[in-house]
Amino acid sequence: MPFQSIEPRRLYRQIADQIRGLIRSGEYPVGARLPPERDLARQLGVSRPSVREALIALEVQGLVEVRIGSGVYVLAGIEMPDLGTGEGEASAGPFELLRARYVIEAECAALAARSAKRHHVQSLEAALGEMEREHAAGGAAREGDRLFHLRVAEATGNGALVHVVKTLWEERSGALYKQLEQHYDTPGLWEASMGEHRAVLAAIAEHDIAGARAAMQRHLQMAYKRFSKGWDTVH
């Protein structure tokens, strides 16, 4: 018998498997509310972000429904196939991506502030304009957002960093990240996010290296905090 390839499994997928098994065994029947994230995290000995990624994966599969301000409930719907590493799924969880972006894109912003030319600043302004147009048209402004962060990377003059940032944003297009983002897509989030982007642009335009790094760090840290808000309490 030939050897089978061994696939390292993401932590959130291991957690999702355990919760899925409890649902299938009847421990949590249809309509039941799952324990709060903090309790699941404590029982499993993992972080709350990892639990949240697992619950989002189960929601994408159709096994549970996340109700902001109430909790997570078991559904009676048909379960979708397990999330593997196929097309459209990120190999990293949403919170892993945000952590990686915090490290990499903050330094990209600092380098961009050091070396950006006028045309780089103009391209960043154009990307923000695209974000505003998408939002005005009722969209999520994902393309304008992606362009802004790519333009920051391009302003570093380092092709390797552009490639890394592009790869991170391809990961961000996965089903888990989109589903998580959907739960927090509010006018308040939009205004806060746009203000953070403008702060990054202003620092780069002024060639403020420390300021650009700090502005990008704040933007990604706030994104992490927004996506970490509890589901079982009203906000």
Q: What is the pLDDT of residue 205?
A: 98
Q: Tell me, rounded to whole angstroms, the distance of Cα 175 from its chain centroid.
A: 10
Tokens 């103009």 sit at which residue?
122
Same-domain pairing of 146 and 211: yes
- What pTM was estimated for this model as a whole? 0.80
Query: 5 lies in a domain?
Result: no
Tokens 């380092």 sit at which residue?
158
Question: Does position 149 have pLDDT exceeding 90, yes or no?
Answer: yes
Do 28 and 22 touch, CB atoms closer than 8 A?
A: yes
pLDDT tens-digit readout, 49-100: 889 989 999 999 899 999 887 889 999 755 555 554 443 444 678 888 999 9
Question: Does position 184 have pLDDT exceeding 80, yes or no?
Answer: no
Query: 79 lies in a domain?
Result: no
pLDDT tens-digit readout, 94-143: 888 999 999 999 999 999 999 999 999 999 999 999 999 988 888 777 89
Question: What range defines the domain where residue 19 resides?
Answer: 11-74
Q: Three-state SS for 67?
A: strand
Any idea what the CATH number is for the domain that residue 167 is in? 1.20.120.530
* Band of pLDDT at residue 172, cut at 50, 70 and 90: confident
| Percent of all residues in the chain with a pLDDT value above 90, rounded to a whole number | 52
